């Protein structure tokens, strides 16, 4: 770590991992409700568990992105952060908002209140005051990071990263627009949801991955940048009009079926390119970086993102297929592996890379960290297969043969048990990861070793 202000990232990563823990516990509870449908149904209904599961995911991923930006931008820009104080203030606002969300969801004290009540749109259920807080925090962040970059060295990595983060903040503004016409509501809702995960987040992902490859493999910056530009071009080209794959059945004109099918099919390309990029860099790389866990997570991220987002996304993106599979467990299978591969693994990769430096230690607990990779990845891949089989059966029974929803659900029990098992393994992996990062062995870094593990 070259710059003192990079330390800010520690607090962000800690908050992110804390929420990660809450998220996976929520996932485990939700998975149990699939087996015992009345479990906690009075105290903590399924819809609330699901809200906590998805919302905490989004928030911790974004906290991780912010942390990653605060960690890597000073190093790329070759100067201290514009203001570490503002960075902490931003984190405080976000944590307060998060607590407000949790309290609002759990106790629902202000139902229907314009400012304080929870809003009814999936993933955007946060009350308005929290949404406003998120915007303020995002503005502080953008100001802080943009000032740092403007005053310092500008690299392709920081340019793309900041472009992605600006896009993230600006697109969130659509969450304030909630037309009463349901078709329009959905149309704008996807401007946030889709254009985040299949648009600007991909820029963030590609730039963080590029940074990790640059550091871990020692490949020339020029080579990394060329890949980065190609990946970003492919992501935006396919991702923006790829939004059309959400407009098949919401009352939009029929041409969206073709726009959505064609463009979203091409969304496989940037994910394939990111996977190819990661492996080619490692093969070409001249550097043996001691942080093997970070490399494992980086390669795992690129690979699982290709399968989860790319392949499993393509699986049900053509409108002729989606007509039958829409909203079945196929969607759940895709959602889980895509989010884990693309964004969870990405965050865990940058955290694995940064944590030893932030805490002034050797890359420690490598074995635990790598075991946690295999537990989480194995659990998630197994869960994806299980849900895909469940979804295939569900599609056939419910959508082709026209059986009743609940009758079909009862026939999927075996799969839900297996999903719970794989989720349980995942949760063990997640807590192992958190342990391996949070509780390092008490080794103090030696200068000779520090010299061997170059920061650049």
CB nearer to another protein: give 112 or 253.
253
Q: Choose the stretch contacting another protein; rule: CB under 8 A; options: 59-67, 230-238, 391-399, 402-410.
A: 230-238
CA distance 230 to 232: 6
Q: Choose the stretch contacting another protein; rule: CB under 8 A; options: 64-72, 167-175, 189-197, 250-258.
A: 250-258
Which two three-digit tokens encode residue 13?
């990563």
Query: Binding to another protein by residue 83, rule CB under 8 A?
Result: no
| Residue for token pair 């980065």 | 228
Query: Binding to another protein by residue 261, rule CB under 8 A?
Result: yes
- Nearest C-alpha neighbor of 189 from the set 112, 197, 30, 115: 197
CB 433 within 8 A of CB 369: yes
DSSP character at residue 266: T
Query: Binding to another protein by residue 34, rule CB under 8 A?
Result: no
From the list 2, 151, 153, 226, which residue makes contact with another protein (rule: CB under 8 A)? 226
What residues numbered 356-375 form the site for another protein, per CB under 8 A? none
Cβ 189 to another protein shortest distance, Å? 24
Q: Choose the stretch contacting another protein; rule: CB under 8 A; options: 38-46, 55-63, 227-235, 366-374.
A: 227-235
From the list 25, 147, 170, 230, which residue makes contact with another protein (rule: CB under 8 A)? 230
CB nearer to another protein: give 1 or 276.
276
Kindly write out the interface string for residues 265-294 of this chain, putting x where it contacts another protein by CB under 8 A and - elsewhere.
xx--x-------------------------
CB nearer to another protein: give 254 or 402.
254
327 Cβ partners below 8 Å, 6+ apart? Answer: none
CA distance 32 to 273: 37
Cβ 229 to another protein shortest distance, Å? 6
Query: Binding to another protein by residue 207, rule CB under 8 A?
Result: no
From the list 112, 120, 253, 402, which residue makes contact with another protein (rule: CB under 8 A)? 253
46 Cβ partners below 8 Å, 6+ apart? Answer: 30, 33, 37
CB nearer to another protein: give 248 or 420.
248
Cβ 86 to another protein shortest distance, Å? 35
Size of the site for another protein (CB under 8 A): 18
CB nearer to another protein: give 46 or 237.
237
Cβ 396 to another protein shortest distance, Å? 24
Cβ 253 to another protein shortest distance, Å? 7
From the list 263, 277, 306, 339, which residue makes contact with another protein (rule: CB under 8 A)? 263
Query: Binding to another protein by residue 156, rule CB under 8 A?
Result: no
CB nearer to another protein: give 244 or 300.
244
Query: Binding to another protein by residue 227, rule CB under 8 A?
Result: no
CA distance 303 to 198: 16
Query: Binding to another protein by residue 237, rule CB under 8 A?
Result: yes
CB 197 within 8 A of CB 264: no
CA distance 327 to 380: 20
CB nearer to another protein: give 125 or 202.
202
CB nearer to another protein: give 17 or 236.
236
Extract the runs of DSSP E, i.e. beta strands, from 309-352: none
- Nearest C-alpha neighbor of 272 from the set 231, 217, 221: 231
CA distance 75 to 359: 16
Sign of CA dihedral 32, 35, 39, 45: positive
15 Cβ partners below 8 Å, 6+ apart? Answer: 60, 63, 91, 94, 95
Query: Binding to another protein by residue 262, rule CB under 8 A?
Result: yes
Q: Choose the stretch contacting another protein; rule: CB under 8 A; options: 3-11, 103-111, 222-230, 384-392.
A: 222-230
From the list 124, 234, 305, 348, which residue makes contact with another protein (rule: CB under 8 A)? 234
CB nearer to another protein: give 132 or 262.
262
- Nearest C-alpha neighbor of 242 from the set 199, 187, 186: 199
From the list 86, 102, 259, 368, which residue makes contact with another protein (rule: CB under 8 A)? 259
CA distance 129 to 115: 6
Query: Binding to another protein by residue 132, rule CB under 8 A?
Result: no
Cβ 262 to another protein shortest distance, Å? 5
Q: What is the DSSP string of 195-217?
A: HIIIIIHHHHHHHHHHHHHHHHH
- Nearest C-alpha neighbor of 248 from the set 231, 260, 265: 260
CA distance 142 to 158: 12
CA distance 322 to 2: 50
Q: Give Rg (Cα) of the chain.
A: 22
Binding site for another protein (CB under 8 A): 226, 229-230, 233-234, 237-238, 253-255, 258-259, 261-263, 265-266, 269
């Amino acid at each position: 770590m070259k710059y003192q202000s990079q330390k800010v990232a520690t607090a962000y990563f800690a908050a992110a991992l804390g929420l990660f823990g809450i998220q996976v516990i929520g996932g485990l509870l939700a998975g149990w409700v699939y087996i015992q449908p009345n479990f906690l149904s009075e105290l903590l209904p399924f819809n609330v568990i699901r809200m906590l599961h998805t919302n905490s995911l989004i928030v911790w991923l974004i906290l991780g992105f912010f942390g990653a930006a605060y960690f890597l931008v000073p190093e790329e820009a070759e100067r201290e952060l514009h203001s570490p104080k503002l960075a902490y203030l931003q984190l405080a606002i976000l944590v307060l908002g998060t607590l407000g969300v949790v309290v609002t969801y759990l106790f629902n004290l202000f139902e229907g209140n314009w400012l304080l009540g929870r809003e009814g749109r999936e993933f955007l259920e946060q009350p308005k005051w929290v949404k406003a807080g998120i915007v303020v925090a995002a503005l502080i962040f953008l100001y802080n990071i943009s000032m740092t970059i403007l005053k310092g060295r500008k690299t392709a990595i920081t340019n793309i990263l900041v472009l992605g983060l600006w896009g993230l903040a600006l697109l969130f503004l659509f969450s304030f627009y909630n037309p009463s016409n349901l078709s329009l509501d959905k149309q704008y809702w996807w401007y946030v949801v889709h254009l985040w995960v299949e648009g600007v987040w991909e820029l963030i992902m590609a730039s963080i991955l590029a940074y990790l490859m640059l550091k871990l493999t020692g490949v020339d910056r020029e080579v990394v940048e060329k890949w980065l530009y190609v990946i970003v071009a492919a992501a935006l080209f396919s991702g923006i009009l790829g939004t059309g794959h959400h407009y098949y059945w919401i009352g939009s004109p029929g041409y969206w079926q073709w726009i959505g099918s064609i463009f979203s099919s091409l969304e496989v390309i940037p994910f394939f390119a990111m996977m190819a990029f990661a492996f080619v860099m490692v093969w070409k790389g001249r550097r043996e970086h001691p942080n093997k866990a970070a490399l494992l997570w980086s390669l795992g991220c690129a690979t699982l993102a290709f399968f989860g987002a790319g392949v499993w996304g393509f699986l049900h993106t053509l409108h002729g297929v989606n007509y039958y599979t829409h909203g079945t467990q196929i969607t759940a299978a895709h959602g889980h592996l895509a989010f884990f591969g693309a964004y969870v693994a990405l965050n865990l990769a940058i955290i694995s890379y940064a944590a030893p430096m932030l805490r002034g230690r050797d890359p420690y607990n490598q074995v635990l960290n790598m075991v946690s990779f295999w537990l989480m990845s194995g659990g998630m891949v197994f869960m994806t297969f299980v849900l895909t089989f469940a979804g295939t059966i569900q599609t056939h029974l419910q959508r082709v043969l026209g059986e009743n929803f609940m009758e079909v659900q009862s026939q999927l029990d075996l799969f839900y048990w297996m999903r719970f098992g794989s989720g349980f393994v995942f949760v063990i992996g997640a807590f192992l990861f958190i342990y391996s990062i949070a509780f390092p062995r008490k080794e103090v870094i030696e200068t000779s070793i520090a010299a061997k593990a170059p920061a650049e």
